[in-house]
Each structure stands twice: as structure tokens, then as C-alpha cells.
Amino acid sequence: MTEQLRMMAVHAHPDDESSKGAATMAKYVSEGVDVLVATCTGGERGSILNPKLQGDPYIEEHIHEVRAKEMAEARDILGVKQEWLGYVDSGLPEGDPLPPLPEGCFALQDVEEAAGTLVKLIREFKPHVITTYDENGGYPHPDHIMTHKISMVAFEAAGDPARYPEAGEPWQPLKLYYNQGFNRQRTQALHDALTERGLESPYGEWLERWDSIGRDRNLTTFVPCGDFFEIRDKALVAHATQIDPDGGWFRVPLDIQREVWPTEEYELAKSLVSTSLPEDDLFAGIRNN
């Protein structure tokens, strides 16, 4: 392929792009791939998870602007482009029974209508590859599940001139992947490496609960990107309201990560090109066409 390769990563909130596939994106940017993050919501209802910033009245009052600024910093660190789809964060309902979702939020939008916003962006950017979440959202946040739904509709519709004719000239992406970076194989490997070295593992409880949370998936694609883990972590730290730099995200030393598990993992959900599994490249089957 002589034209520039393009990849779109569809995420629910600012910070998701830095915790799911960030090293992959940084790797591809370094190779000259044009990478765009589509962020569905502004993260307005996200809790302030960094204990160092909890109780700050300015942040609490201006959370939308603060999270947008964090996103801009992370975007620059990763070297990617980024667009907002403009929907309002649904929040994560808690309680028994669960409370209703807030009126007007992303998860309550009509799927076909919301997918049209993503179709327009796909037709403008023309990605060859799209990454998104599986049908469970990676975890069952209503915005993550909605992100999956609109991504699936948009992937099928973007190349069809009969659908969303107002959204621009048709463009058909060639492959769609689910982010599967939180998987049992990786978690077990890192846990074992830490315990073998006499270090404390943050994954013991995860592994004990794994069967009950049903996270096993079909990993098809392992992208080598260990050289970009540091960039990934810097992008994560940029989301200061969401990430504690002294927290669990950073308990596994980078040298151990690179030695034991230097890849990020994906599940190939749709492909319009021939490819052989397992893959080590999201553009396998596209580069040589």
C-alpha cells in the first residue's frame, strides 16, 4: 500500500485511550501511521480517582474543562490526533437496584443516530483499522457498551452509500479490533514474574476473581510495543484526576513488563482482508494490498 496507513481508536472517555492500547498507538505513530482517537464523551460524570486531588473545589466544579485539558496533554504525549463525538458521560450507576441513567446521557442515545456521528468521522478520516471495545465494554460501564454498539454499526455503515448519505462520501474500514489488554495470560505472566522475584504483585485478587468476572477472550493479535510503555505511562499520568501516579497502574517495573510481556493484545472482530492468526500487526493483510 502506497498511501499512508490510518488507524482510529474509539473510546468512551478521556483516559481510556491511555489505558487501552496507548503503547500500540505510540508505536504506530513512530512508524508514520496517522492515528486518531475518537472520544465519545467528555467524562463529566467520572469520579476523581486520584486521592491527591479529591476535594479540590475547582476540579469538582470544572471537571469537564479539567478532563479536556488532561486529554489534550495525553494526546500530545502519544502523538495522536483526537476528536470529541460530543456526548455526555453516563456515569457508572451503583446500588441495588441500580438507579436510572441520567437523562440525555450517551448510553441512552438512539444507537443508529449516535452511530451516524461516528460514521461522519470515519468518512472524514478514512481509517483502515478501527479499535474499540467488545460487547461487554471491556467492563460493563454503560458508556463502554454504547461505544461498542455504535462502533459496530458505524463499521458496517461507513462504506454503504445508502446509509447516512448526509455524512459524506462512503469509506469502508478494513479491520475492526476489540481492545483486550486486560487478559488472563498477561495478568498471570506478570503476577508469576513478580512473585518469582520476591516482589509484591497487584494481581493476586484479580486472578482469584477471574472466573467470576468472565474476562477470557480470544486473543488474536499481539502487537510488540514494549519500547513505548514509558510513553503510555506518561500519557496515563497526564489524566491526573483519574490516575494516581503512586497507584496500582505502575507497580510492575517497566523492565519486567518488557521482559515478560512486551505486547498489547487485541481480538480481531471483523476483517475484510485475508490474514493469518495470530497476528503481530493490526495492519496485517493491509500493508501488502
Domain boundaries, the chain: 6-181+218-271
Q: Confirm or deny that 16 is annotated as ligand binding.
A: yes
Confidence of residue 2 (pLDDT cuts 50, 70, 90): low
Sequential DSSP letters for 48-108:
---TTTTT-HHHHHTHHHHHHHHHHHHHHHHT-EEEEEEEPP-----SSSPPPPPTT-GGG
- Summarised one tens digit per residue, pLDDT across range 36-66 is 999 999 999 988 988 989 988 899 899 999 9
Q: Confirm or deny that 11 is annotated as ligand binding.
A: no
Q: Which pLDDT value is given to residue 247?
A: 81
CATH top class, domain 6-181+218-271: alpha beta
- Work out whether strand 221-224 and strand 263-271 pair parallel, antiparallel, or are unpaired: antiparallel
Looking at the chain, the whole-number percentage of residues with pLDDT higher than 70 is 98
Q: Confirm or deny that 191 is annotated as ligand binding.
A: no
Does the pLDDT at position 173 exceed 90? yes
